[in-house]
Structure 1
């Protein structure tokens, strides 16, 4: 099985989790991993949308811009967006 491509964001998204300082999320693979394994307890509709967008980018059905924007919205929803990660 081929490993999925690492689709890079044009600019990283900065988030802040409990485990320390800010994290620069620079790709859909990294975003998907964080969304599925390290996300805070609050997983609302924006979290679900971000997971969907990131997975669709990996399949070639969405753009990295869509995934980045969805990830930003999920981070805002969870209260973990750090810095100025503008749309």
Structure 2
């Protein structure tokens, strides 16, 4: 498994109904949180960004970032399934 890759992808929908995405790892999740996030700044989004940074720095496992990313996705109503 590549460094920063999630064991299970996260399926989200940021915009149009026919355009869902599979988030495969930390780099994808971080880019979405920084550039494409549909919601305002929230504590869950901030925690998800910090978790992604921890993985990128090598201090946390990818599962840690995935857990916080999923929580932020649920809050923003963009999570499709687990």
Residue deviations 1:5-31 (CA, integer Å, cap 9, x gap): 851000100111114421100110000
Higher share in strand: 2
Distance 2:14 2:72 in 1: 13
* Root-mean-square deviation over aligned CA pairs: 1.4
Q: Does 1:10 align with 2:7?
A: yes
Shift of 1:41: 2.6
Equivalences, count = 80
2:50 and 2:58 map into 1 onto residues whose CA distance is: 12
Return 5+ residue gaps in structure 2 as ranges: none
Q: Aligned equivalents of 1:43 and 1:68: distance in 2?
A: 18
Name the CA shift for 1:62/1:32 in 2 (closer, same or farther; >3 Å): same
Q: Is the 8 A contact 1:32 1:54 kept in 2?
A: yes
Assess if the C-alpha contact under 8 Å between 2:4 and 2:61 holds in 1.
no
Q: Deviations over 1:29-49 (max 9, x none)?
A: 000000000001333111000
Alignment of 1:1-87 (within 5 A): 7-19=4-16, 20-83=18-81, 85=82
Query: 2-side partners of 1:6 and 1:33: how far apart?
Result: 16
TM normalised by structure 1 equals: 0.85
